[in-house]
Structure 1
Amino acid sequence: MSCVSCREQKLKCDRSQPRCSRCARRDAKCTYPTTRRRQVGPRRTIPELETRLANIESIVKSSRDDRLGRALNNDDVIASFPDKDIHDVVDNTDSPLDCEAKTGPSTLRSVRMSPFGQVPYGGLLDDLYASSDLSPNLRPPMYLRYVIAALAASIVENYRNLALTLYHQARLCVEEEELKDFRPQPVTLAQAQFWCLISNFEAQQTFFSRASTSLSRCLRIAQMLRLHQLDAVDGQLPPGVSETKNWPELEEARRTWWVIFCSDRFVSGSTGWPALINDDDISTFLPASEEAFESGVAESTGLLGDVLQQGCKKYSSFAGRVLVAHLFYQSAKHVSGHLSDEHSADIRNGSFWTRHTMIDNDLATLIMRLPEDLRLPGNLQCQNALFTNIMIHTAIICLNRAAIRETRRLALPSSLFNRGQARLLSAAEEIFNIFREITDMDAAFSNPLLVYCAYMASSVYLDASVAEDRRQAGFNLTYLLHIMIALSKTNVIARSLAIQIAEDMKNIGLDSSAIETVTVTIPEY
């Protein structure tokens, strides 16, 4: 038996008596055990050890998930560590950053903590954006996933407080991607989609100047990719889409372009700013139906100009939205000051009235030929159907208000005034009736343009010469006012327009209590 000292140090002992040579050299006490030490307890088997390890891992994972859940629900977990790397702040085993790291070189290792809060984790992000079941090569870039999750969070009550956090993280990710290398980086379709979606989110949050610049950036990227010429006669696919081998991928590029087109037209039409897209430069087919896109079966469509000129009877619901955006912008451009005085007195051959008649006829035709899935009241639960119909009637209001203005200014025949009055009242009534049927106001009015449409309908009822039934006009105005008031808690534009409507109602003697209602509901007024 080895001496106690050698055994404790796990050194070889020569077992010399009375002291081993090692202890003798060190002049240390050397003692030998009187009996051999027996092993206590049975030897544990490998399966038993694996079972215990699995149980411990389960306990640790459960504890960690509870800790992360408490952190995400804690409003105090905001950028407490603005100067630290995100990986130094939290355990990110289940975070989306790890998913990116496992699929290839990650550009997110230096992404900083969002100043609006902690980055959501795997399960939470999957609730807002389901891409975890896709293979790594099919997953969109992380910045695109974040902005989609931000848009989803903005309309889901449980996650609404995370919307701005996700938005800021999306912008941090795309900046990191763009600045990761000093070499020029080619633009991609994902970048165009990102800036379009981020612009939409910013508009919902009433960051209008920021939304406009994001949209401008998105549009320039799309033009660099030649998305506006996907179906040009020369047959050359634009850079970045040249690897496209099947119809669904090409259709995705087309749809990206038309979403950008609609955004440009609605922004320009509602603000009066010049449009950034010239119709004559577009040679991309209108989007196909949802069924064709989802199934991957090619479907032929036409160009925007051809559909308008030929009065095509069949087109997709997406194409219907494109047509509405186009005609809404044409109506707004028509009523702008620099066009309204073009030979307005010549009601037969003047360019003003010729253009007015053409746009009015196009709008009437569009209503009659809407695809079945855009018709009301059968599709009241469809946000696209609601938006499309309301925007058509808003365009009619814009168009005919200009006609009535010119009729009054130039003392033109009363028949023009009567026709414009009938069209105005009919369009305002349609908007009012659609609003009365909407069950989820928050979801519907997440698009700020609908607030603008509600105000346009209100302007019709405020005009005593147009809305002659003052009692009905007062009822409709009060209803629209209460919609604005309900939205004013989270919508700055709705708050401003509610105050304006209340003041106009009081000035024309329709409802003297309107101002008091606004004052009570909107204290800062």
Structure 2
Amino acid sequence: MEAEHPPLRHEGGDSHGQAGLLSCAQCRSRKLKCDRKRPICGRCVKQNETCSYPGLRQRALGRRKTVRDLEERIALSVDPGVPGLLRQPANQLIDLGIFEQLPSWDVIDQLTALYFQNIHAGAPTLHQATYTAALRLPPHMRPPMCLQYIVMASAAATSETYRHLSEPFYQRARVYAEADELKGPGETLTTVGHAQSWCLISAYECHVYAIFTRASTSLCRGVRIAQMLKLHQLDVQAPEPLPSALPPPRNWIEAEERRQTWWVVFLADRFLTSTTGWPSLVDERHIKTNLPSSEESFTAGIANDPPILLSNGLQELEQGRGAQLSPLAIRILAVNELLHALDHSANHSTASGTDDTQNGLYWRRHREIDTNLTTLTLLLPERLHLARNPRSLDAILIHICTNMATIQLHRTALALLRRGTPVNHLNNDTMIAQSEARLLPAAAGVLAVFRAAGDDGVGTAIRNPLLSFAAYMAASVFLEDCSRVSLVGPGGQDRSGRRRQSEESLDYLARILVFFGRSSSLVRANAFQLAADMKRSGYDASMMDKVLDQVGTLGGATSEIRVSGSKPMLFCPALTQTSTAGPAEGSTFGLQGASDSWGHGGGNLGFDAPFHGNSVAGPSGTGRGVALSMLQYGAPEGLFLQLGANPESFLL
């Protein structure tokens, strides 16, 4: 053990002779001049202190540095979240509101470029030139730290090189965003940058972890900040009683960035509401912000697009002016109609009573939504036709949303009509025929998206929560067609061709759900539900065995799939086996390099942006229940319905 006092070094010469040259210990400790009188110096006499003279000349060497001391100092200077990054000293960074050293400019630039290459198309909130330039401004003029970190985290999740930075950067983004909430009375929190940050944080939580509960609460913050900033009423004509906290925009780019931010928040709310079934946070009746301009205009900073409100968007399509609407604007219209169809299906009880007024209102709304979906399907601008642009993100999402809405709307109608619910002034058989005629083309439209993705893109597409459920919905339509349609129709009509086509389509969708369910809990849940439907209908009982084998391979047990009396939710991580360790080793928003015996391969089709990417980590296992059968009754409030039903309804 080391001595408490520093060691003494002996100088040459007689110790007694040298002692006379030394000052007393008291004067030496205070660095005062000593007259060196013996036995007591003059200063100690005045101060009435004990005077002592050392017997040896000494020189302090200081305490020896040990290996442990050096290790502790290094540990304090290294950021545990990011290997290779050192913390800056306690005060320079904290004064700027930064808690640790940022990555090198080379890393920041590469991640920022990756963000605009891979993520921006799905959530076009940031103006690339403006944001990139702002990173070089003085620290107090840069984008909020939470925004910088979630941009880099989202980009890192799409890169093999930087994936290890994704999780710590996401955590830092949350830390900074939550820290800003505690600063001041709200001026730090309520900025466009913070609305953008929470929206991107929500997207990351949804698609990287598949934790919809956390994603929803994060989005709530983004929606409320956007509303406090009056982003939903940027183009209102009459002045509002509560002014916005934002200063007037400095130029058109800044004004359009605010519009883009609002509509991305709107899209996120609609997608998450459609997925989970929770109530929407945004009432479209309050929106007085023009639909976003095209990406070309936004990038160039030139206002080429006419101002159009959400309420007038479908009218522009009906009147043949669809070219004036940007692809993002039409995507907004399609997602909005999907939510309308889901909400309308959830209100099916108004059509089952004896009140003719309610009954009439229900079917009138049914026809209105159906007309809107037809408009979106038939009057799309040529650049959004899936056949011409099979890899256009906007074209893909528009076709998925409109076809899913059509399936949901007419499946609910058929369930009501076959149950004998009357339709005012119309024949039930006529309505049944009309709805049946709309289902197969809608299912074929969903199938076309996956076929257009090709072998390289189907693995990426199927992991999108929205597209994953779309695959199940379309497969259930083909299964119902196979079960209901006989080989010989009225008058000896040969229906073998139609049935064979439905069987082939069902087989294609079932196989990709089973295969890609190995690495995604959401896909796996849809595969299990389809298997349960197929077994119940008597079409293919072996499908269930394939799914159960898959669960066993992943370490699950059959008992975990059996249904209990409770109703857990797939998107509630507390009720499933959840990984919180971040993205899995070697995982990405896309599935790279994987292929199966049917030739379904991985790749990157551009689905890896927020709200159209894959979930590659998060809940594992299949959960503790399965969704109610769409064949039994099709009117879920959300795409991922509450899981669970009566145990006797499943043939396990």
**TM-score, reference length from structure 2:** 0.61
Query: Quick one: structure 1 residues 259 and 467, their matched pair in 2 at CA, closer, same or farther if it must change by over 3 Å?
Result: farther
* Residue identity opposite 1:206 in structure 2: A
Query: Quick one: structure 1 residues 450 and 91, their matched pair in 2 at CA, closer, same or farther if it must change by over 3 Å?
Result: closer
Distance in 1 separating the partners of 2:414 and 2:457: 35
Superposition deviation, residue 393 in structure 1? 0.5
The answer for the alignment partner of 1:166 in structure 2 is: 169
Distance in 1 separating the partners of 2:521 and 2:260: 31
Deviating more after overlay: 83-92 vs 302-311: 83-92
* Residue identity opposite 1:421 in structure 2: E
The answer for the alignment partner of 2:262 in structure 1 is: 257
The answer for the alignment partner of 2:397 in structure 1 is: 387
Match for 2:238 among 234, 245, 252?
Answer: 234
Summarize deviations over 1:222-270 as a string: whole Å, max 9, x none.
1100001100103679534324121111111011111111122222233
Distance in 2 separating the partners of 1:208 and 1:422: 35
The answer for the alignment partner of 1:483 in structure 2 is: 512
CA contact (8 A) 1:191 1:218 kept: yes
Distance in 2 separating the partners of 1:302 and 1:96: 50
CA contact (8 A) 1:344 1:350 kept: no
Summarize deviations over 1:401-447 as a string: whole Å, max 9, x none.
11111211126532211111111110001111221221323443453
Query: Quick one: structure 1 residues 259 and 174, their matched pair in 2 at CA, closer, same or farther if it must change by over 3 Å?
Result: same
Aligned pair 1:322/2:325, yes or no?
no
The answer for the alignment partner of 1:521 in structure 2 is: 550
1:361-372 maps to which residues of 2 (within 5 A)?
361-372=371-382
Deviating more after overlay: 261-270 vs 159-168: 159-168
Match for 2:191 among 188, 192, 201?
Answer: 188
The answer for the alignment partner of 2:96 in structure 1 is: 106
Match of 1:410, SS state, is coil
The answer for the alignment partner of 1:14 in structure 2 is: none
The answer for the alignment partner of 2:137 in structure 1 is: 136
Superposition deviation, residue 451 in structure 1? 1.1
Match for 2:472 among 441, 450, 455?
Answer: 455
1:26-65 maps to which residues of 2 (within 5 A)?
none
Query: Quick one: structure 1 residues 183 and 424, their matched pair in 2 at CA, closer, same or farther if it must change by over 3 Å?
Result: closer
* Residue identity opposite 1:135 in structure 2: R
Summarize deviations over 1:174-220 as a string: whole Å, max 9, x none.
22333355886351000000111111111112110001111111111
Query: Quick one: structure 1 residues 126 and 416, their matched pair in 2 at CA, closer, same or farther if it must change by over 3 Å?
Result: same
Match for 1:337 among 347, 353, 366?
Answer: 347
The answer for the alignment partner of 1:74 in structure 2 is: none
The answer for the alignment partner of 1:214 in structure 2 is: 218
The answer for the alignment partner of 1:403 in structure 2 is: 413
Superposition deviation, residue 167 in structure 1? 1.5
CA contact (8 A) 1:347 1:353 kept: no
Distance in 2 separating the partners of 1:522 and 1:120: 41
Count of residue pairs brought into register by the alignment: 438
CA contact (8 A) 1:155 1:443 kept: no
Match of 1:510, SS state, is coil
The answer for the alignment partner of 2:117 in structure 1 is: none
Higher helix share: 1
The answer for the alignment partner of 1:201 in structure 2 is: 204
The answer for the alignment partner of 1:415 in structure 2 is: 430
Which of the pair has the greater relative contact order for Cα pairs under 8 Å at 6+ separation? 2
Query: Quick one: structure 1 residues 225 and 183, their matched pair in 2 at CA, closer, same or farther if it must change by over 3 Å?
Result: closer
The answer for the alignment partner of 1:358 in structure 2 is: 368
Match of 1:136, SS state, is coil
Superposition deviation, residue 103 in structure 1? 10
1:87-106 maps to which residues of 2 (within 5 A)?
87-89=77-79, 105-106=95-96
CA contact (8 A) 1:248 1:296 kept: yes
Summarize deviations over 1:130-169 as a string: whole Å, max 9, x none.
4766531574222212212222233334444543332212
Aligned pair 1:430/2:437, yes or no?
no
Match of 2:96, SS state, is coil
* Residue identity opposite 2:310 in structure 1: L
Q: Where do 5+ consecutive residues of structure 1 fail to align?
A: 1-24, 27-79, 112-118
Deviating more after overlay: 506-515 vs 193-202: 506-515
CA contact (8 A) 2:270 2:335 kept: yes
The alignment yields a C-alpha RMSD, in angstroms, of 3.5
* Residue identity opposite 1:452 in structure 2: F
Match for 1:511 among 533, 540, 546?
Answer: 540
Deviating more after overlay: 250-259 vs 293-302: 293-302
Distance in 2 separating the partners of 1:126 and 1:201: 20
Query: Quick one: structure 1 residues 349 and 184, their matched pair in 2 at CA, closer, same or farther if it must change by over 3 Å?
Result: closer
Superposition deviation, residue 496 in structure 1? 1.2
Query: Quick one: structure 1 residues 326 and 183, their matched pair in 2 at CA, closer, same or farther if it must change by over 3 Å?
Result: closer
Instruction: Among all aligned residue pairs of Structure 1 and Structure 2, give the percentage whose two residues are the same amino acid.
Output: 36
* Residue identity opposite 1:202 in structure 2: E
Distance in 2 separating the partners of 1:473 and 1:467: 10
Distance in 2 separating the partners of 1:344 and 1:431: 36
Deviating more after overlay: 164-173 vs 421-430: 164-173
The answer for the alignment partner of 2:252 in structure 1 is: 247
